[in-house]
Structure formats: structure tokens, C-alpha cells
Amino acid sequence: MTKPPPTKQKRTDAFVSVFFVITIYCKFSKTTYFCLPFTRDSCYTFTYRLLYAFVTKITRSIFFERVIKMSFCKFSSDYLMESFTLVDNLFMNEYLPYAEEGYIKVYLYGLYLCTNPSGRDNSVESFAKVLDMDEDKILEIFKYWQDQGLLEIISVKPLEVRYLSIKGAKQPPKKYASGKFADFNVEAQRLFNTRQIMPNEYLQYYDVMDSTKIQPDAMLMIIQYCINYKGTTVRYPYINAVARNWAREGVRTVEDVEAKLNEFNSLDEDMRSLMRALGRRGSTDIEEKQMLVKWTKNWGFDMPAILFAAKQCKNKGGFKKLDAVLDEYYRLNKFTESEMSEYVKEREHYHDLAVKINRTIGVFYDSLDYIIETYVSPWLSKGFDDDALLDIAKYCFTSNVKTLQGMNLTVMHFYKEGCITSESIRDYIDRQIQNDEFIKKVLSLAGTNRFVSQNDREYYRVWCTEWGMPDDLILYAAELSSNSRFPLQFINKQLAKWHDARITTLEQAKKSAIAVENPKSSAKNFTEREYTKEQLDSIFKNVPDIEEYDI
């Protein structure tokens, strides 16, 4: 029996119920959708529209939250509502000049990921891989930007970051006990004797000391040092950036600052020599002294090596160019002046060789620096000579290997075989050709006429190298397999039986009655035995990794 349609009264009750529920939701969620209708028909129409708007809002909210939760970098709602360019000009003026290069990279790349929160690469693992940083370092940098008020770390494990509006980055000032920094205020104002320190600047100094645990007297010494370099017009973001950088190195007390300044002062003579080598006049910045500390202490270069590299950068970009040059030497494992000098002499040779190799295998690159660093230099350092590499390139081109990655695999194969000279490589190839000719003869005797495969070569390698079978014995086994449906398997079985029986000569094989059985016969001429798990484990744990064999 068909259920009767609802009456007009029931429809009205339903609409009123829906209208009432949505009205209550809007009231508690502080959402305004409507003005009150005046007629029953308009109430129906309006309720339909209201229901549609309600469902749409809920659906969009669920979708938005699910998409955002998939990523660890995200925009806050106020940032999304404000129409900014990709990098706000306020960031360029107020934050970028005072942050380290790595810190800027992290902020900008995170900002980029926020534009695609559901992207596949929006994860801290991918983030660390792209920027070549440790995840702990990335977290430390995000904490720095959080202190600046530019983002918020929602969770650490898993790492989840929300970018905030830069215009709203100025947080309400933290309140400090009256008189806590009274002595600091007096001394700081004395240092800036040509201008008045504003209350906001004092608060910024307080925040740095509070968050990094730098002592007030140590902070005053840092301010004095920055004034000596930049003058009394130096801005507080620069001073705070220096203070934070030193705090990360453990500089927090007066004694720590004195040790740091003594370290910098000991570099004065080296800095003057470095400035002359770079062809630059004037004073140096704190950042430039910090670079020198990095090159000597962290990277392990001595001053003669640094000065040699600096002469290559004379009037060509200063400290930033020198940092890039030393970074290249660091990755090439060239740390002394003599190693660098030899490398510079060989650089032209490397360039010419790279051009010849690329031309031989049929590739072209506008810049050869990456090719030299990644392929040519490591190949030559392993002992390969020019002729050997060019022979390998010809071999690769003939074998349809037309990429440097593919050639690198071939070079590594020859290196493992101990073939690093042109003569040894040609001898190896000649042996392979002779082996292929012999394998063709084996296949012909077995009644098979086809090309030699890698599987055939592996069989032959095992017969000769592993089992020690002479060629005449292999040929005899091939003659016996002429009537077999699977001749190569027959030869392998026959040689295996002779190997087990210690038969190593053709004369022994002809006198022996050992032969491979007719595959149609199912009779067994051996006694079956059972083995325990321990016995089998003792055998198979000593079997070489089978992945090295292509069978």
C-alpha cells in the first residue's frame, strides 16, 4: 500500500522545525543569514534558501578544515582574508635585513607552501629535504619567527605551523616588573647619546633578554659593539638579530661576550688581509666576521686557503661570492691552498674533458660546473684517465646509454672490475666479446640459433668462475644437450652433476656414466632425506646474496 503524501500542515510543521533549528545554530555561531519573512509562501522559499546556505557553509567548513589539516604549514584566517602579495613589503623592510639567510629561506618556503596546503610536498620531511636542513634546525627557525610574531607553532610532533598576518605581528607588549631593567635603561640611553630610545625599542630589548636569557650587562656590551660598527643610527632589529645569533652559540653572560669579542678582535689582521685580497676598502660588518669564523672553525679552511680563494673573487661580489667559492671547495674536499691551486689548473682540463664526453654520448649542457663537480671530478679522482672515460662514453653511446647518469653506472661497473685505464677497459671488452663468441658456439652445438643474452653470460660466468669447468667440457655438455627441449638448462644440470662428482676434464666426463636423466622419467635414483630447520638455516645463512646474480 502506497504511503500517502504529507499534508500541507505536516509540510508546514517540517519547514518550521528546520527554520527553528537553523535559527538557533545561527544565533549560537554568531552567523547572520536572514531577515524575518512576512508570508507563508515567502517562508517556504526562504527556508529552502536558508537550508541550502546552511548546508553549503557546513560542507565548505569541513572541506576547508580537512584540507588545511593535511599540511603542517598554513595561513591563519585573518591572513587569508587580507589580500597580500606573495611577500609583504613590511617583511622586506622590517624583518629580512636582520635575519640570517637560512632563516629567510625557511620563512619564504613555508609561505610558499601555505598557498598550496593540500600539496603532496607540504610536509616537514619534504621541507627539510628541499632546503637541505635538519628538522630540528627548521623547528628552531620557526620558533624564531614565532618570537617575531609572524607565525604560530600549533604542534611540534607532528610539526604544524600557521602563518599570521604581518600587519598583526605586533603583539601586545609583555609587562615587566617596574625597576627590573632600570639600570639597563640608563646605560642603554647613555650609549645612544645622539637620540632618544623610544619605549617600544626598550620592550624589544627586554623580550630578547627574556627569551634568550642574555644578561642585561651582556646585552649592553652587544649594543656597544653594534654601535661601534654601525654608529648610533643602528636600528634595534639589527642589534637584536646579533644578540639572538650569539645566544644560539651560547653567548649569554659578560664573560661569554668578552670571549666572543676577543675572538673577533683576533680576526682583525686576518680581516684586513682578506679585504685586500678581495680588493675592498672600508670597514667590515659583524656578519662578515661571522663568515670568517664559519670558514675557519666550522669548515676547516686555513687563512692561506681562504686568501687564495679570495683572490679568485677580487672585485667580483665580495664576501657572498667568496662564501659560494669556498662552499664549492668544501664539497670538493679541497681544503688547502695547494689543493685549490691544483684544482684551478685542472679546471680547464676538466672543462674540455666534460665537453668531449657530452659530445660523445650526445648530450648538451649550458653550464658544465655541475657536470664537472658531480661526474668528471669524481671519476678522475678514482684513477680513470681521459682516454678511459672517452672509451666508456663511446661504449655507452653504442649501447644506447645516452645520459651521464647511465654512463656513471657503467663507470662504476668498470671501477669494481678494476678497469680504470683505457688498456684495461679494452682488454675487458675484448674478453667479453670472446666470451660471447664461445657462448654462441655452445648455443649452436645445443641446436639453438639466437643472440647471446645476459642470462647466458651469467650461466657461463658461474660455470667457469664458480665451478671451474674448462671450455672443452662445456662444449661436450652442449653436444649432449642437442636433443633436449631446454638445452641451456640441460647443460647446466649436466655440468652441476660433474661438478658434484669432482669431474673436471673431458676424459673423466666421457668415462663417467653420470648423465642427466630423461625429463620424462619420474623415477628417483636417490634416497630422500629430511632436514631440520636448524640444519637448513646453517646452510642458507651462508649463501651469498642472490641479488648480485642475474639468473
**Residue 285 is assigned to a structural domain of this protein:** yes
Same domain, yes or no: 95 and 138: yes
**Residue 173 is assigned to a structural domain of this protein:** no
Tell me what percent of the chain is helix, strand and coil, each rounded to the nearest 5. Answer: 65, 0, 35
Of all residues in the chain, the percent with pLDDT exceeding 90 is 13
pLDDT in tens, 147-165: 778 888 888 888 889 888 8
Q: What is the mean pLDDT of residues 109-133?
A: 78
Position 500 pLDDT exceeds 50: yes
Same domain, yes or no: 392 and 368: yes
Same domain, yes or no: 367 and 356: yes
Same domain, yes or no: 143 and 201: no
Same domain, yes or no: 404 and 489: no
Same domain, yes or no: 430 and 518: yes
Give pLDDT, residue 55: 55
**Domain final residue, candidates 386, 420, 454:** 420
What is the bridge-based pairing of β-strands 73-75 and 151-155?
A: unpaired
**Residue 141 is assigned to a structural domain of this protein:** yes
Position 35 pLDDT exceeds 90: no
**Domain final residue, candidates 237, 265, 293:** 265
Q: Which domain holds residue 84?
A: 73-163
In the chain, the amino acid numbered 417 is E
Position 253 pLDDT exceeds 90: yes
400 Ramachandran zone, left/alpha/beta (phi>0; psi -120 to 50):
left
Position 20 pLDDT exceeds 80: no
**Residue 220 is assigned to a structural domain of this protein:** yes
Same domain, yes or no: 77 and 63: no
Pick the range with the lowest mean pLDDT from 31-35, 58-62, 67-71, 430-434: 31-35
Position 215 pLDDT exceeds 90: yes
pLDDT in tens, 328-347: 888 888 889 999 988 888 78
Give pLDDT, residue 38: 42
pLDDT in tens, 217-235: 999 999 998 998 888 888 8
Position 73 pLDDT exceeds 80: no
Position 214 pLDDT exceeds 90: yes
Q: What is the mean pLDDT of residues 35-50?
A: 50
**Residue 168 is assigned to a structural domain of this protein:** no
Interior/surface letters 245-278, b for 16+ CB within 10 angstroms, e for the rest: bbbeeebbeeebbeebeeebeebeeeeeebbebb
What are the helix (H) ranges across 8-134?
8-28, 40-69, 77-81, 89-94, 101-114, 124-131
Give pLDDT, residue 379: 92
Q: Count of CB atoms within 10 A of residue 301's CB? A: 24
Position 106 pLDDT exceeds 60: yes
H/E stretch holding 204: helix 199-212
Give pLDDT, residue 28: 46
CA distance 394 to 403: 12
**Residue 3 is assigned to a structural domain of this protein:** no
Same domain, yes or no: 523 and 468: yes
Pick the range with the lowest mean pLDDT from 8-12, 418-422, 426-430: 8-12
Number of domains observed in the structure of the chain: 6
Q: What is the mean pLDDT of the chain?
A: 78
Same domain, yes or no: 186 and 145: no
Same domain, yes or no: 57 and 21: yes
Position 180 pLDDT exceeds 60: yes
CA distance 24 to 220: 59
Give pLDDT, residue 32: 42
Burial label for 402, CB within 10 Å (0-12, 13-18, 19+), is middle
pTM listed for this prediction: 0.40
Q: What is the mean pLDDT of residues 388-398?
A: 90
In the chain, the amino acid numbered 27 is K
Give pLDDT, residue 44: 54
Burial label for 149, CB within 10 Å (0-12, 13-18, 19+), is middle
Give pLDDT, residue 66: 47
**Residue 194 is assigned to a structural domain of this protein:** yes
**Domain final residue, candidates 301, 317, 335:** 335
pLDDT in tens, 431-480: 888 888 888 888 888 888 888 888 888 888 889 888 988 988 888 888 88
Give pLDDT, residue 48: 55
**Residue 514 is assigned to a structural domain of this protein:** yes
Domain of 82, CATH number, reads: 1.10.10
Same domain, yes or no: 283 and 214: no
Pick the range with the lowest mean pLDDT from 24-33, 402-411, 506-515, 521-530: 24-33
pLDDT in tens, 533-542: 555 555 444 4
Q: Helix (H, G, I), strand (E, B), or coil: what is residue 306?
A: helix
Give pLDDT, residue 13: 57
Same domain, yes or no: 442 and 535: yes
